[in-house]
């Protein structure tokens, strides 16, 4: 097979998704144009849905391993695209009956393009291609965040997201250019080879910090988190759900890939009595700040979307230490954590979306007495909240457990105890605000004068499925951990 | 057999969740049936254990792989100590259902959460894998929260949140300690027996032990971390306060003994005196505070802090007799506190709608509710530690053990008993036996004591009397368990 063909085969899932995006646009423009809006959305949505399913089928049937042409496709990265596509699928289902836009074709096409960006992000080992994938993802998301044209908050969210995202992209790009200046290459493994045996110059550290700052923006880690609450609150709920879930999984994975492949020698150390400059101290500080700031700010929130935004910042703080867990343990813990977190937070946003569809707001008081009217929805929300708080036997607990055990075990053993203790203490604080939501749902009396949510069957099924996944992955983490262990037998990147 | 206690409880909870309709009657009966079945399983397990003389070592009930990646196993086993507490849970569960017979609001959910809590408690007492133990331990937090916040009374949202956060903070400390132990031991499993085999460095034990011990002891009501207990008890509905005092506080004490003390014997010896001091302060402080309470339930709440002090003091003696006393006291206090809370919450508060002692004084309760009065007098006698009740033999053993190790503390604890007699007599006088001129006819008639209440009261009274008159019934399980290989480091670590 020629290199081009190989390259195209390796990229086939991305190509399928992008083709589906174009098809969605075309169908909307050519066939569905005259149809009434209520008829158009389900058909276009179904087409987008089928595109994702086709890509998943391809991934399941065609195992692929390929290195070269800026790509590095391993069994792990191929597998990782399945959860990413699943997240996109759920976002599509949640948008099925979306009433916030009439531009259905563009909406679903952008959603698919964002998904393609996510997939490309995890399969590249070249800083330039990583940057391009990041921009494909980001620009799609900026536009998606603005899709609720009737709402000022949505425009504000999109503008904020664009400005912050633009600045962070500039940081990343500047960092990359400095790295290129120091090492003369943008291929991750070549960078590592060039750096080996050399003393690190100050400009290299500047480059490293710039790149990390860019990613910290994307992952909403404090102190670069300021965009997150406004975007989560203002963006249309399915979009917010996708931003909160998909970009976390892919973002953390690619950050791990960059740091572990290109800069293993510049790790540094942050243990008590053993401090070395490098990326580890930067990450540890980001993690600690995110845990503290996210949890402290979440306590006083009254809007559930903002609460989820601050909790997302805190969760970025819990996940970041996983990168410090050492080569072998970092990836399973990180992936288990981010994937389960993504499904949980997607479910939570879906429930909020249902509340908004019914004409209520997303404040805590709007949830009062929900359990009397929608027991299934309430139970699912309970599962999501408790999983985020880290109550066993739900997936969120085991995710944290995995990450923290791996971090403690990283040599020198117990060196990062301070960070783990801080993380666990922070999750005690977090129980308070998650219980605030739960308390409204179960303990408060419902207001009889307001309307009650009647979610579509598909949305309800999606939420129930997500809750079932959270419970199943918590009760039997081996479902996911076993798969990850199997995939990690071959080199991860 | 014993493992079924857990399954039946959770199964009962699940069935109740999906029971159609809002009729409370089938929900009550289903809950009672599940609780009785759990008690039957516990009793059958105890009998089987006795026949096989298996109380000494941990006898496996289930041992199956669970999470392969971390070597976590679904490992349930019981020795004499866990058996005693499983029996206690069974009795408390049945009594709690009987005393909740009048719950009309969201009955199904009430009993579903109630049984979920019971299932979690059974799970903690039977787990040998510490990860599994931890999972069950946390699993019990959430139902507690809901039981209080939905069905509670005075300041229920505050009390429920405080209880949940205290419990969660405690378990967070435990989690840090356990993960650190796992990493330091380089262990491939979370099995208690495996982890206990590793000789942890003394410096490590000296900080890991207090972390895990205090984490558990928060739930056992150790002074000064006890403040969740009185507010939680007061806010909770009757059955929940019975369970809180009856079994949930024992979860803490059990965890402290089973996990913290067996894993870190060196740390234990370092901290022995400090913790014993805190326990004695708890005994005296709880009794003195109970002496001045105006709220009937606060009196019992603080008395729980005082009685749990005896458990912790007994644990810290590190003598056979002291530890046996501590375990017996767990059982005894579980029964007696359940009984007292039942009288206060169900028999008195649900009828008079007040717990203010000053308001109860003119109500002439001894004539209005004679059965409640008799029950309360007997319960108080048991609580004061009169011979013939289980509390006497338990506290006596604790004091004897303490006398051998720290005589000053033993004397102070004995003074605490005196204060206990004082507050008990005071509350008895103010609630049921106040002098007043009102004849019964002047007062609105109170609904009579119902059959389930009588049955529950008799069950608990019977349990404390039987164990009081025949302590060997439980000691035959407890004493051999103290000689098990798992407990060996406790005795060899320095003292006796």
Q: Are residues A85 and A190 in the same domain?
A: no
Contact A477 B67 (CB under 8 A): yes
- Is A493 inside any structural domain? no
**Best to test chain A binding among B19, B70, B169, B203 (most A CBs inside 10 Å):** B70
Burial environment of residue B47 by CB neighbours within 10 A (0 to 12, 13 to 18, 19 or more): exposed
Query: Which of A417, A439, A477 is opposite residue B157, by nearest beta carbon?
Result: A439
Q: Are residues A143 and A96 in the same domain?
A: no
B134: chain A residues, CB-CB within 8 Å? 392
Per-position pLDDT tens, chain A of length 493: 677 888 888 888 999 999 999 999 998 888 877 777 777 888 888 899 999 999 999 988 887 778 777 888 888 888 999 999 999 999 999 888 777 777 888 899 999 999 999 999 998 888 999 999 999 999 999 999 988 888 888 889 999 999 999 999 999 999 999 999 888 888 888 888 888 877 778 888 888 899 998 899 889 888 888 899 999 998 998 999 999 998 899 999 999 999 988 888 777 777 777 777 788 888 999 999 999 999 999 999 999 999 999 999 999 999 999 998 877 778 889 999 999 999 999 999 999 988 888 777 788 888 888 888 888 889 999 999 999 999 988 999 999 999 999 998 887 778 888 899 999 999 999 999 999 999 989 888 887 777 777 788 888 899 999 999 999 999 988 889 888 888 888 777 7
Q: Are residues A415 and A356 in the same domain?
A: yes
Give yes or no for residue B312 having a pLDDT over 90: yes
B138: chain A residues, CB-CB within 8 Å? 391-392, 397
Residue A1: what pLDDT?
65
Query: Which of A391, A413, A424 is opposite residue B183, by nearest beta carbon?
Result: A413
B180: chain A residues, CB-CB within 8 Å? 408, 414, 417
Task: Give how many domains chain B has, as a whole number.
Answer: 1
Q: How confident is the model at residue B440 (pLDDT cuts 50, 70, 90)?
A: low
- Is A309 inside any structural domain? yes
In chain A, the residue whose alpha carbon lies closest to the alpha carbon of B163 is A432
* Mean local confidence (pLDDT), B141-170: 88
Q: Are residues A59 and A101 in the same domain?
A: yes
Q: Are residues A270 and A257 in the same domain?
A: yes
Residue B442: what pLDDT?
59
Last residue of a domain, one of A65, A99, A124: A124
- Is A143 inside any structural domain? yes
Q: Which of A36-45, B94-103, B250-259, B383-392 has the lowest mean pLDDT?
A: A36-45
Q: Which of B163-172, B283-292, B351-360, B419-428 has the lowest mean pLDDT?
A: B351-360
Average pLDDT, chain B: 86
A11: domain CATH number is: 1.20.120
Give yes or no for residue B439 having a pLDDT over 70: no
Q: Which of A151-165, A308-322, B264-278, B341-355 has the lowest mean pLDDT?
A: B341-355
CA distance B483 to B461: 31
- Is A362 inside any structural domain? yes
How far does A332 lie from chain B, in Å, by closest CA?
10
Q: Are residues A403 and A447 in the same domain?
A: yes
Residue B386: what pLDDT?
86
- Is A289 inside any structural domain? yes
- Is A7 inside any structural domain? yes
Residue A361: what pLDDT?
79
Contact B68 A431 (CB under 8 A): no
Residue B54: what pLDDT?
57
Query: Which of A393, A421, A431 is opposite residue B135, by nearest beta carbon?
Result: A393
Distant-in-sequence, close-in-space partners of B302: CB < 8 Å, separation ≥ 6: B230, B286, B287, B289, B290, B293
B66: chain A residues, CB-CB within 8 Å? 476, 478
Domain containing residue A389: 125-487
How far does A289 lie from chain B, in Å, by closest CA?
20
How far does B100 lie from chain A, in Å, by closest CA?
19
In our burial notation (b when 16+ CB lie closer than 10 A, e otherwise), range A161-181 reads bbebbeebbebbbbbbebbee
Contact A401 B179 (CB under 8 A): yes
In chain A, the residue whose alpha carbon lies closest to the alpha carbon of B177 is A421
Query: Which of B134, B149, B168 is opposite residue A431, by nearest beta carbon?
Result: B168
In chain B, the residue whose alpha carbon lies closest to the alpha carbon of A400 is B175
Domain containing residue B21: 3-492
Contact A431 B69 (CB under 8 A): no
Read off the pTM: 0.92
Residue B494: what pLDDT?
41
A332: chain B residues, CB-CB within 8 Å? 69
Across the A:B interface, residue pairs with CB atoms under 8 Å apart total 78
Query: Which of B67, B169, B179 is opposite residue A408, by nearest beta carbon?
Result: B179
Last residue of a domain, one of A124, A153, A184: A124
Contact B69 A428 (CB under 8 A): no
Residue A163: what pLDDT?
92
Q: Are residues A318 and A293 in the same domain?
A: yes
Last residue of a domain, one of A124, A139, A160: A124
B142: chain A residues, CB-CB within 8 Å? 386, 391
CA distance B190 to A194: 43
- Is A238 inside any structural domain? yes
Q: Are residues A114 and A145 in the same domain?
A: no
Give yes or no for residue B19 having a pLDDT over 80: no
Report CA-CA distances (Å) from B161 to A107, A298, A354, A436.
Answer: 42, 16, 27, 9
Q: Are residues A62 and A105 in the same domain?
A: yes
Could you report the per-residue pLDDT of B397-418, keeping only the tens digit for each? 999 999 988 889 999 998 988 9
HEC profile of chain B: CCHHHHHHHHHHHHHHHHCCCCCHHHHHHHHHHHHHHHHHHHHHHHHHHHHCCCCCCCEEEEEEEEEHHHCEEEEEEECHHHHHHHHHHHHHHHHHHHCCCCCCCCHHHHHHHHHHHHHHHHHHHHECEHHHHHHHHHHCHHHHHHHHHHHCCCCHHHHHHHHHHHHHHHHHHHHHHHHHHHHHHCCCCCEHHHHHHCCCCHHHHHHHHHHHHHHHHHHCCCCCCCCHHHHHHHHCCHHHHHHHHHHHHHHHHHHHHHHHHHHCHHHHHHHHHHHHHHHHHHHHHHHHHHHCCCEHHHHHHHHHHHHHHHHHHHHHHCCHHHHHHHHHHHHHHHHHHHHHHHHHHHHHHHHHCCCEHHHHHHHCHHHHCHHHHHHHHHHHHHHHCCCCCHHHHHHHHHHHHHHHHCHHHHHHHHHHHHHHHHHHHHHHHHHCCCCCCCCHHHCCCCCCCCHHHHHHHHHHHHHHHHHHHCCHHHHHHHHHHHCCHHHHHHHHCCCC
Q: Are residues A325 and A386 in the same domain?
A: yes
Q: Are residues A166 and A86 in the same domain?
A: no
- Is A481 inside any structural domain? yes
How far does A381 lie from chain B, in Å, by closest CA?
14
Q: Are residues A151 and A111 in the same domain?
A: no
Q: How confident is the model at residue B213 (pLDDT cuts 50, 70, 90)?
A: very high
User: Which residue in the block uniquely carries the two structure tokens 């087409």?
Assistant: A47
Contact A443 B184 (CB under 8 A): no
A401: chain B residues, CB-CB within 8 Å? 175, 179
Task: Give how many domains chain A has, as a whole number.
Answer: 2
User: Which residue in the block uniquely carries the two structure tokens 């609105």?
Assistant: B444
Structural tokens at position B398: 């604790």
Query: Which of A393, A420, A478 is opposite residue B176, by nearest beta carbon?
Result: A420
Q: Taking an 8 Å Cβ-Cβ cutoff, which residues of chain A contact chain B?
A: 332, 386, 391-393, 397-398, 401-402, 404-405, 408-409, 413-414, 417, 420-421, 424-425, 427-428, 431-432, 435, 439, 442-443, 476-478, 481-482, 485
Q: How confident is the model at residue B495 (pLDDT cuts 50, 70, 90)?
A: very low
């Amino acid at each position: 097979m020629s290199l081009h063909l190989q390259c195209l085969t390796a990229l086939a899932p991305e190509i399928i998704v992008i083709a589906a995006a174009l098809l969605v646009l075309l169908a909307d423009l050519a066939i569905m144009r005259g149809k009434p809006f209520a008829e158009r959305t389900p058909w276009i949505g179904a087409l987008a849905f089928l595109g994702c399913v086709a890509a998943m089928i391809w991934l399941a049937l065609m195992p692929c391993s390929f290195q070269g042409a800026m790509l590095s496709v391993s069994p792990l990265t191929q597998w990782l695209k399945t959860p990413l596509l699943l997240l996109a699928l759920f976002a599509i289902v949640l948008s099925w009956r979306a009433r916030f836009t009439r531009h259905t074709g563009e909406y679903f096409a952008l959603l698919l393009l964002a998904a393609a960006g996510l997939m490309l992000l995890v399969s590249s080992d070249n800083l330039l291609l990583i940057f391009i994938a990041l921009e494909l993802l980001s620009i799609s998301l900026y536009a998606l965040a603005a899709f609720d044209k009737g709402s000022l908050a949505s425009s504000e969210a999109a503008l904020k997201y664009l400005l912050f995202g633009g600045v962070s992209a500039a940081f990343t790009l500047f960092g990359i250019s400095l790295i290129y200046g120091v090492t003369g290459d943008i291929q991750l493994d070549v960078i590592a080879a060039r750096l080996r045996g050399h003393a690190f110059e100050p400009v290299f550290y500047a480059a490293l910090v710039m790149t990390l700052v860019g990613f910290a923006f994307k992952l909403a880690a404090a102190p670069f988190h300021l965009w997150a609450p406004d975007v989560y609150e203002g963006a249309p709920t399915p979009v917010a759900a996708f931003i909160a879930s998909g970009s976390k999984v892919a973002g953390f994975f690619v950050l791990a890939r960059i740091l572990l492949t290109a800069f293993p020698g510049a790790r540094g150390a942050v243990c008590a009595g053993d401090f070395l400059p490098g990326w580890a101290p930067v990450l540890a500080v980001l993690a600690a700040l995110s845990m503290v700031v996210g949890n402290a700010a979440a306590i006083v929130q009254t809007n559930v979307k903002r609460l989820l935004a601050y909790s997302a910042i805190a969760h970025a703080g819990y996940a970041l230490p996983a990168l410090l867990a050492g080569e072998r343990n970092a990836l399973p813990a990180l992936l288990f954590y981010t994937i389960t977190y993504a499904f949980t937070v997607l479910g939570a946003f879906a429930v909020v979306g249902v509340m908004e569809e019914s004409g209520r707001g997303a404040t805590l008081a709007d949830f009062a007495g929900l359990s009397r009217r929608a027991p299934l929805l309430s139970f699912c929300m309970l599962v999501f909240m408790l999983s985020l708080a880290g109550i066993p036997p739900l997936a969120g607990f085991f995710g944290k457990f995995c990450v923290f055990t791996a971090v403690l075990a990283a040599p020198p053993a117990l060196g990062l105890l301070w960070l783990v203790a801080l993380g666990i203490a922070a999750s005690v604080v977090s129980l308070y605000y998650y219980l605030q939501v739960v308390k409204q749902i179960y303990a408060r009396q419902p207001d009889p004068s307001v309307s009650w949510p009647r979610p579509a069957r598909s949305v309800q099924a999606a939420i129930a499925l997500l809750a079932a996944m959270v419970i199943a992955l918590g009760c039997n983490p081996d479902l996911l951990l076993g798969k990850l262990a199997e995939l990690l037998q071959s080199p991860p990147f | 057999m014993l493992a079924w206690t857990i399954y039946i409880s959770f199964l009962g909870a699940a069935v109740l969740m999906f029971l159609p309709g809002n009729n409370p009657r089938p929900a009550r009966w289903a809950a009672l049936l599940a609780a009785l079945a759990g008690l039957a399983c516990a009793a059958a397990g105890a009998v089987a254990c006795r026949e096989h003389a298996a109380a000494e070592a941990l006898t496996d009930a289930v041992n199956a792989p669970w999470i392969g990646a971390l070597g976590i196993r679904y490992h349930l086993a019981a020795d004499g100590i866990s058996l005693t507490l499983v029996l206690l849970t069974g009795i408390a569960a049945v009594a709690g259902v009987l005393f909740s017979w009048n719950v009309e609001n969201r009955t199904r959910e009430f009993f579903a959460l109630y049984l979920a809590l019971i299932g979690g408690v059974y799970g903690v007492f039977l787990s040998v894998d510490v990860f599994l133990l931890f999972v069950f331990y946390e699993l019990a937090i959430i139902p507690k929260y809901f039981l209080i916040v939905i069905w509670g009374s005075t300041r229920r949202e505050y009390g429920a949140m405080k209880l949940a956060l205290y419990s969660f903070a405690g378990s967070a400390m435990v989690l840090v300690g356990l993960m650190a132990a796992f990493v330091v031991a380089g262990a491939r499993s979370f099995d208690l027996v495996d982890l206990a085999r590793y000789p942890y460095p003394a410096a490590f034990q000296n900080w890991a032990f207090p972390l895990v011990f205090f984490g558990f002891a928060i739930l056992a009501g150790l002074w000064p971390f006890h403040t969740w207990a009185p507010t939680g008890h007061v806010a909770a509905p009757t059955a929940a306060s019975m369970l809180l005092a009856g079994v949930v506080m024992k979860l803490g004490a059990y965890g402290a003994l089973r996990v913290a003390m067996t894993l870190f014997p060196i740390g234990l010896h370092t901290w022995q005196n400090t913790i014993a001091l805190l326990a004695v302060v708890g005994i005296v402080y709880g009794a003195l505070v109970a002496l001045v309470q105006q709220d009937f339930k606060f009196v019992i709440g603080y008395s729980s802090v005082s009685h749990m002090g005896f458990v912790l003091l007994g644990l810290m003696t590190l003598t056979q007799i002291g530890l046996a006393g501590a375990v017996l006291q767990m059982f005894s206090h579980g029964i007696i506190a359940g009984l007292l809370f039942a009288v206060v919450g169900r028999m008195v508060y649900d009828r008079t709608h007040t717990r203010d002692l000053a308001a109860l004084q003119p109500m002439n309760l001894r004539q209005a509710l004679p059965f409640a009065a008799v029950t309360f007098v007997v319960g108080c006698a048991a609580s004061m530690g009169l011979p013939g009740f289980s509390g006497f033999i338990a506290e006596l053993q604790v004091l004897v053990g303490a006398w051998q190790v720290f005589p000053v503390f033993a004397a102070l604890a004995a003074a605490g008993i005196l204060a206990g007699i004082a507050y008990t007599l005071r509350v008895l006088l103010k609630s049921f036996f106040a002098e007043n001129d009102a004849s019964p006819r002047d007062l609105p008639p109170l609904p009579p004591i119902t059959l389930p209440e009588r049955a529950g009261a008799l069950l608990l009274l019977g349990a404390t009397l039987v164990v009081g008159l025949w302590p060997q019934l439980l000691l035959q399980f407890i004493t051999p368990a103290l000689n098990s290989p798992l407990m060996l480091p406790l005795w060899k670590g320095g003292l006796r």
